[in-house]
Every structure is written in C-alpha cells, then in structure tokens.
C-alpha cells in the first residue's frame, strides 16, 4: 500500500515469513518518490536468526554461521542464542580475517530457494557464495520474464556465482553470464547443474564487464534485460581497474547501446558504502527513463531478523521497467 503525503509517500509493506512470528505490517517511514525497500522473506533454507553488535547470526540449511555486519549497530538482546554456532568469522586488524570452526563442517553444502538450488561454502573473505537478500530480485526477474510472453535475452554483469543467472534461465530466458573471476564463473556452472539448467542456453564468460559490453556493441548483439552487481573496487582478468563512483555511469551508457528496441527491465544492485539508492534512481532516470519512458524505482534491500522483528539492511538496488509490462 502506498499513501500519498505531498511530494512524498509512506510505503507500507506487509511481510510473509515462512518461519517466524513477524505478522504486523512494516511502515518504513516517509519515502521520497520511487524509493521502496525490498524484503527477501520467503526463504525456508535460510534465516537471519539475530543481528547486533556489528554481527549477524544466520542459519544456512542446518549450519549456523556468525559473521560480521557493520549495519547491525544495535545491541544484542538474546545473547544465549549466539552460543549455539557452527562457525565464527573473525575480522583481522590487518584486513581480511579467518573462520573459527566449532565443529567440523563439509567443504560445501546445498541450500534451496523455491525451485533453485545453490552451493554454499564459507570463503576467506567471510562470504558464502550467495547473497540471500537478492531473492527478492530473483522473484521479480522470474515474474517479469515469464509474464513477458516472449523470448528474452539477459546479460548478467559482475554475475558472481549466478543467483540472478539461474533465476533468469529458470524463467525461460537465454542468459549471458559475465564475471572477471574464473573461480566465480566455475562456481556458477556448479549452480547451473544443481538447478537442472544444463540444457538451457547460458553462456559463461570470464571478462572485464565494460570491455565485454563494448565488444557486444561492435558485434551488434542486443539484450532485453541487463542485470549488474558492480563492486566498489575491482580488477578485470587483465588488470583492468574498476571503481564504482568513477565507472558506473559510463558502463550504464555503454549498456544503453546494446539494449533491444523493446527492453524489459534494467536492474542494478550495489553494496558500496556511502552510495545512496537515490544515486541509482537519478542515474536510471537520466539514462533509461529519458530514452525508453517506463518507470524507475530504487531503495534498500533487506532480510527479516527472526528474534526481534527488525529488518537488516543489506544493500541498495535501482531498476527501470518497461511501461508496457508494469
């Protein structure tokens, strides 16, 4: 429900928790223009059990992990809950960190989101190979692609282990998956097999994303959907430098050149500290919407916290949608 209030909106989001007791609507306050929070609240194999004191406690299948999270700045109330963990990631003062295992865990295990399956494995940089908050975007992509009633071609940039790739392929799209890390692309191929999508049309490419987009333009290739999850900093396979603030706008302008005449949607995810979702909103307004009309929305993306009925903010997103499919 959206309630008008002058030039602002109050956005009321009713949540549905598969496991837990979160039943009341959330009022996320006064939200300017196209800002909406997405809540990934339909997981069964994953839960954010608790969060606070700069950390989060999560259940990944049957495994309980404790990891740093700078957004969780409030105190922990139920400290006993944090004693029953399987692994604990400690940050180092020199950067990075290490996992302390309370019991022996397998090298990796599988979790499921609806009809999709993913490999999960604790990495040296605290991550697990999957960002569960992105499930809200997977659902959006699946619905948009299925409801388009036409063959859709998707380009997924900075595609990591392929959560968005698998969602788009599952929905029936042809997908090109691009990431600069060969290891992440191999992980994505494993996820493809777990999801039973081997016979679908997915191209996996290890490349610098900007250079790939520029080559696609010279080749005359077009896409109906572009999804990207650009990092704060990064390097391409040949040492190409990427910095979010310096390179994002140029990349989006290059992507405009390879959009089809009837694009379906354009989705940006970001985790860069200090970047507001309004930045993504403004960029999409001045690029996609000025050329294709349609609708732009942006906001935060989050996870419900089971033990205190709060929401853990996890990142931001911005998306443009074709007006014929809204």
Lowest model confidence (mean pLDDT) among 31-35, 60-64, 120-124: 31-35
Which residues constitute the domain of residue 261?
Answer: 132-270
Mean pLDDT of the 276-288 span: 95
pTM of the model: 0.88
Q: Quick check: 188 and 159 in contact, CB under 8 A?
A: yes
| Residue 74 covered by a domain | no
User: What band does 176 get if pLDDT is binned at 50, 70 and 90?
Assistant: very high
Whether residue 48 contacts residue 32, with contact meaning beta carbons closer than 8 Å, is answered with: no
Cα gap 233→228, rounded to integer Å? 14
Q: What is the pLDDT of residue 21?
A: 35
Q: What is the b/e burial string over 261-297, where b = at least 16 CB atoms within 10 angstroms of the residue's CB?
A: eebbbbbbbbbbeebebbbbbebbbebbbeebebbbb
Please choose, from the candidates 213, 206, 141, the residue with its C-alpha nearest in 3D space to the C-alpha of residue 173. Answer: 141
State the Cα–Cα distance between residues 305 and 236, nearest whole angstrom.
36
Asked if the structure places residue 231 within a domain, the reply is: yes
Helices (H), 220-315: 244-256, 277-284, 290-292
Give the C-alpha distances (Å, rounded to integers) separating 58 from 15, 223, 307. Answer: 19, 36, 11
If we measure between CA atoms, which residue out of 306, 288, 308 comes closest to residue 298? 288
| Position 59 in a domain | no
* CATH number of residue 145's parent domain: 3.40.50.150
Instruction: Please determine, for residue 5, whether its predicted confidence score (pLDDT) is greater than 60.
Output: no
193 sits in which H/E element: helix 182-194
Confidence check: pLDDT of 319 > 70? yes
Question: Is it the case that residue 16 has pLDDT exceeding 80?
Answer: no
Is 161 exposed, middle or buried, given 0-12, 13-18 or 19+ CB atoms closer than 10 A? buried
Assigned domain for 254 exists? yes
Neighbours of 185 (CB within 10 A): 20
Please check whether residue 318 lies inside any domain of the structure. no
What pLDDT, on a 0 to 100 scale, did the predictor assign at position 217?
Answer: 98
Whether pLDDT at 31 is above 50: no
Task: Decide: 204 and 188 in contact? Cβ < 8 Å.
Answer: yes
What's the sign of the alpha-carbon dihedral 106, 170, 272, 253?
Answer: positive
Please report whether residue 108 resides in a domain.
Answer: no
- Cα radius of gyration (the chain): 20
Residue 157 has pLDDT above 60, yes or no: yes
Q: Is residue 242 part of a domain?
A: yes
In total, how many domains does the chain have?
1
Give yes or no for residue 6 having a pLDDT over 90.
Answer: no
Where does the pLDDT of residue 267 fall: very low under 50, low under 70, confident under 90, or very high at 90 and above? very high
DSSP 82: G
With respect to residue 248, please indicate whether it lies within any of the assigned structural domains: yes
Is beta strand 153-157 parallel, antiparallel or unpaired with respect to 225-228? parallel
Longest dimension (CA), the chain: 59
């Amino acid at each position: 429900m959206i309630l008008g209030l002058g030039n602002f909106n109050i956005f009321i989001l009713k949540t549905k928790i598969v496991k837990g007791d979160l039943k009341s609507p959330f009022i996320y306050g006064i939200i300017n223009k196209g800002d909406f929070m997405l809540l990934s609240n339909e997981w069964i194999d994953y839960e954010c059990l608790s969060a606070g004191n700069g950390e989060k406690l999560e259940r990944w299948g049957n495994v309980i992990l404790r990891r740093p999270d700078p957004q969780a700045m409030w105190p922990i109330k139920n400290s006993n809950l944090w004693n029953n963990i399987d692994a604990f990631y400690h940050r180092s003062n020199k950067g990075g960190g290490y996992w302390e295992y309370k019991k022996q865990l397998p090298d990796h295990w599988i979790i499921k989101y609806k009809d999709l399956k993913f490999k999960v494995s604790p990495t040296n940089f605290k991550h697990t190979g999957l960002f569960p908050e992105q499930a809200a975007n997977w659902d959006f992509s699946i619905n948009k692609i299925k409801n388009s009633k036409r063959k859709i071609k998707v380009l997924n940039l900075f595609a990591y282990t392929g959560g968005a790739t698998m969602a788009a392929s599952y929905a029936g799209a042809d997908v090109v998956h691009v990431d600069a890390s060969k290891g992440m692309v191999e992980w994505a191929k494993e996820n493809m097999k777990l999801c039973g999508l081997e016979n679908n049309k997915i191209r996996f490419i290890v490349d610098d994303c900007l250079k790939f987009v520029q080559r696609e333009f010279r080749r005359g290739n077009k896409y109906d959907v572009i999804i990207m999850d650009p990092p704060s900093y990064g390097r391409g396979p040949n040492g190409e430098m990427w910095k979010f603030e310096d390179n994002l706008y140029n990349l989006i302008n290059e992507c405009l050149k390879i959009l089809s005449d009837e694009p379906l949607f354009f989705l940006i995810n970001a985790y860069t500290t200090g970047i507001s979702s309004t930045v993504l909103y403004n960029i999409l307004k001045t690029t996609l919407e000025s050329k294709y009309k349609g609708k732009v929305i942006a906001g935060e993306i989050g996870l419900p916290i089971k033990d205190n009925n709060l929401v853990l903010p996890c990142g931001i997103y911005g998306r443009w949608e074709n007006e014929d499919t809204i």
